[in-house]
Chain A
Amino acid sequence: MMTGGCPFSRRRFLQAAGGAAGALAASALFPSVLRAAGEKTVDVGVSSAAGPAERARGAVALVGGMKAFVSRGDVVVLKPNIGWDRTPEQAANTDPEFVVAVAEMCLSAGAGSVRVFDRTCNDPRRCYVSSGIKGAVEQFARKNRVGDALRIYHVEDRKFVRTSIPNALSIKEWDLYRDALEADKIVNLPIAKHHSLAGITLGLKNMMGIMGGNRGQIHYRLSECLVDLHRRVPVALTVIDAGRVLLRNGPSGGNLADVKSFGMAFASRDVVAVDGIAAEKIFRLSPRDVGHIGKAMESGLGVSSGAQIRIVEG
């Protein structure tokens, strides 16, 4: 049916099935081990401040401030969603003010360099411009004379590195972006929105922007692929923009009638936890009912139940 990276080859299927079975067996045999590991609670900051920038700052402050995640001299990759040739009002991409606010926090926390990029779905140039993110980041960098430290640039094919993913559920290897692999910290900046396959898209799915190759093929086993991706490239912090939220016809949308204002932001070091809380608060969905979030919980990528999450509102 397909060539190359087909996740359906018999060998892969058996491996994946074996891995899943192994994980199940482990949880049955050593439940205490798993519980002990998951016992620590994870904070999720929820901000409902007035503007996108204030919300971003608020949410991060609630989980300990950027200094808790970014150290002096770190090379930080900021991964907003710049996937679509859409304007900020259409809520298909992360709000530009939101992105700039997080970039500013990273620099204030002492980051040596902050790099912003995404592998887009429409023409990259159009997405960078229409989203307003390129303009906002460059303007901020110019105004504050931090053009060397803060850069937004386009993804280039030559910088994808074939990367093996040990103990993968689905993708044993994939082309991942070199800058993300080499970064000291990754800050994940998704926008919360509807997604026709995944149901909703939040932090877990946003990291697909560092993947090369034929990403369409990932949709065959999206949940497993996302777990694999996050195991290989863990994010230090996820800050979800839920200011304007696209409730239908996602992920690309376009129709302003599908967009509703929620005025919220969520932050956590645990991408599973923050996705779970955003799923509940914005979309009124139980995290376990969202395929890929459920899969992530089950596979121990982050928290495995709501009981482990402490919501800090402000």
Chain B
Amino acid sequence: MKTMRILRRLAQWTVFAIFAFLFLNTEYKDNDVLPYAVNLFLRLDPLVAGAATLAGRAIIGLVWPALVVALLTVALGRFFCGWFCPLGAVIDVADATVFRKARRKDAVPVSWRRYKFLILFFLAASSLFTLQWVFLFDPISILIRTFTVSVFPALNLVLHQIFDGLYRAPGSIPRVSEPVYGLLKAHFLAFEQPVFRTSAIVGLLFLGILVAERYQRRFWCRNLCPLGGLLALMGRFGLFRRRITEAGCTRCGLCEADCRMGAIGGDVAVTDHGECIECMDCQAICPEEVIHFSGKEGRRPAAVDLTRRGVLASAALGAVTVPFFRVEAHGKAPDPLLIRPPGALSEGEFLARCTRCGECMRVCIANGLQPTWFEAGLEGMWSPILVSRIGYCEYNCTLCGQVCPTGAIRRLPLQEKRKVKLGLAYVDRSRCLPWAGQSDCIVCEEHCPTWSKAIVLKEERTLTPRGDWKMFMKPYIDEDLCVGCGICETKCPLTDRAAVLVTSRGETRSTGVLAR
């Protein structure tokens, strides 16, 4: 009777392999259009789909696969968490390796499982009133964000250090290491070392999810994951349920003790179908082989331990929170450095849809898209911001719009994308080398990508610090032509703060009007 468990494990590995493949291919690989639907996992996620739809007040065509998952869950139960969820797979691997010997009898009260429902109701209510907080708890968003911002860059760094060391090693070591490095570089390593703001904290939060395994198996999935909560509610009456042929059962209790979700309660014949993720472990280990999964009803499940008061309170809290965020001052005076990706919706709609998954940051060819801290308020945490001193928006690139799972960044054809203004550049004349009479420099102008240059040079007489007049080519910004891509700021040779900077002034997404 171990077939189903083998199948489930196979499914987890396969799905994770697909997840990793799509993650690694969320990158420019000599193709202007990404050949794979790299954002598939987010689009399969009913929580993301529901929150973005509710908060964004829009039918989002992109997320139709989530409907399939929802229907399958209604039909089959909460299989997603056991068979499909890549975060679940990572947690299971951590459990089977690092926490294999953890002693954790009853460390966490059973009642904690209700928190995932409370979080879900909180999120639903706040989404209903346009404040979308799902990103903080959605497992797919967490996983992709963490891999993008934290795990992958760190792994890339370590591997690079190792192979760079071997490359410089004496003797025949490089002859062995270089082919391996070449293979890794072609299929796994990043083209250039990515760096991200907030990388350490994102990594730590993820570590927290894994370390919780020390106290309870699938702690995250049982107690906190609102997607798990949503699927539990949807799948409670699924056709695929655990059932015991009570005649043969010896009440040995193995199944109850081994259940990773604690879904078997009180009596071994009783299953909480909302908690059961159909991992098939109990079926595989039952010495009497009396456990089956079928459409037939077993013993009635224990009631979900949700109090009406809890439900109402969390939903009310979700709704009440909203106005507090809406009176934050950044709504009136947004951070001038809040430059959004090209094709981003107007700020309110954008935040309502953005799931902070980090797909756009992962794919951004120049590493310019970064997670915000508080530039967009607490509400906008981890949403993408173009930090031009780190990287610029490549003029001929449309990748971020291709990967956004909820259309927070619209998918624009290249011709249209080139016309989007992200902001405008200005010259800090007190620091700019020719303006300040220090030396020649035309670096911003030469990199300016627009086809009538938005940065024009004018040769003018300038007083040098030594007191004599000299001719310098000085950059001026043509604001009609500037698209705010930020390459001037990235490439400005001043080593600390650039002398040509981009702010959000003139950006065209709020008005919806495209620039010339």
Contacts and interface: CB of A to CB of B under 8 A. Distances in A.
B164 A158 contact: yes
B447 A126 contact: no
A8 B30 contact: no
Given A123-B28, A219-B440, A251 B365 contact: no
A252 interface: yes
Contact of B439 (A128, A134, A195, A220): A220
A126 B396 contact: yes
Interface in B164-216: 164, 167, 191
Contacts of A3: 495
B30 A125 contact: yes
A98 B16 CA distance: 46
Given A4-B495, A125-B30, A220-B433, A197 B450 contact: no
Nearest to B453: A249
A122 interface: yes
Contacts of B394: 85, 122-123, 126
B365 A216 contact: no
A123 B473 CA distance: 27
A84 to B, nearest CB: 9
B445 A196 contact: yes
A129 B30 CA distance: 6
B375 to A, nearest CB: 25
A121 interface: yes
Contacts of A85: 394-396, 449
A219 B365 CA distance: 26
23 contacts: A85-B394, A123-B28, A123-B366, A125-B191, A126-B28, A126-B365, A134-B30, A195-B446, A196-B442, A196-B473, A197-B440, A214-B495, A219-B439, A219-B441, A220-B441, A221-B439, A249-B452, A249-B453, A250-B446, A252-B446, A252-B447, A254-B449, A255-B451
A2 B495 contact: yes
A125 B273 CA distance: 51
B93 interface: no
Nearest to A214: B493
A130 interface: yes
A202 B122 CA distance: 64
Nearest to B433: A220
Contacts of A154: 191
B182 to A, nearest CB: 10
B504 interface: no
Q: Binding site of B, secondary structure by majority: helix, strand, loop or mixed?
A: loop
A134 B31 CA distance: 13
A169 B240 CA distance: 80
A217 interface: yes
Contacts of B443: 216, 219
B28 A125 contact: yes
B87 interface: no
A67 to B, nearest CB: 32
A245 to B, nearest CB: 17
Contacts of A249: 452-453
Contacts of B492: 216
A36 interface: no
A240 B180 CA distance: 38
9 tightest Cβ-Cβ pairs between the two chains A and B: A216-B493, A197-B442, A254-B451, A216-B443, A220-B439, A255-B451, A196-B442, A158-B164, A123-B365
A216 B164 CA distance: 26
A29 interface: no
A1 interface: yes
A309 B28 CA distance: 47
Interface in A1-49: 1-4, 8
Contacts of B446: 121, 195-197, 250-252
A1 B191 contact: no
A154 B190 CA distance: 13
B436 to A, nearest CB: 9
Nearest to A197: B442
Interface in A74-132: 85, 121-126, 128-130
Given A85-B396, A219-B440, A249-B453, A121 B447 contact: yes
Nearest to B448: A252
Contacts of B457: 196
B397 A126 contact: yes
Contacts of A134: 30
Contacts of B442: 196-197, 219
B241 to A, nearest CB: 51
Contacts of B366: 123
Contacts of A255: 451-452
Nearest to A3: B495
Nearest to A154: B191
B98 to A, nearest CB: 33
Interface string A247-284: 00111101100000000000000000000000000000
A158 B167 CA distance: 9
A122 B452 CA distance: 18
Interface string B428-445: 000001000011111101
